[in-house]
Amino acid sequence: MLVATVLAIKYHDDLYMNNAEYARIGGVSLDELNILEVEMLRLLGFELYVYPRLYCQYAEEIVRSAADQPRDPVSCSYDDRDTCMENERTLPSSAEFVD
């Protein structure tokens, strides 16, 4: 959670604390935070932007999973004319979430 928060802050804000401060707040060493940050960036393919459609898909899946039953879709909208949509990732099927 700490690394996701640090990456989100760095992605959205021009001014942010250095990693030493985030590590202190998060209760981890600076070396550990740096390693985890690089690993998470690699796992994400260095793509931090989340397309609105993908966000909505995940939000709907979380709501369904939390309720443990099908529900009405989350009130979520996106612009179908987004030119980047052709490159977006798709949500894995529910079967892929099962261990």
Residue type, 39: E
**pLDDT tens digits for range 9-56:** 999 988 889 999 999 999 999 999 999 999 999 999 999 998 999 999
Cβ neighbours of residue 78 closer than 8 Å, sequence gap 6 or more: 51, 52, 53, 55, 56
For position 64, what pLDDT does the model report?
Answer: 87
Residue type, 53: R
**pLDDT tens digits for range 52-84:** 999 999 899 988 888 876 555 556 655 544 444
For position 15, what pLDDT does the model report?
Answer: 86
For position 52, what pLDDT does the model report?
Answer: 93
Measured CA to CA, the distance from residue 88 to residue 63 in angstroms comes to: 21
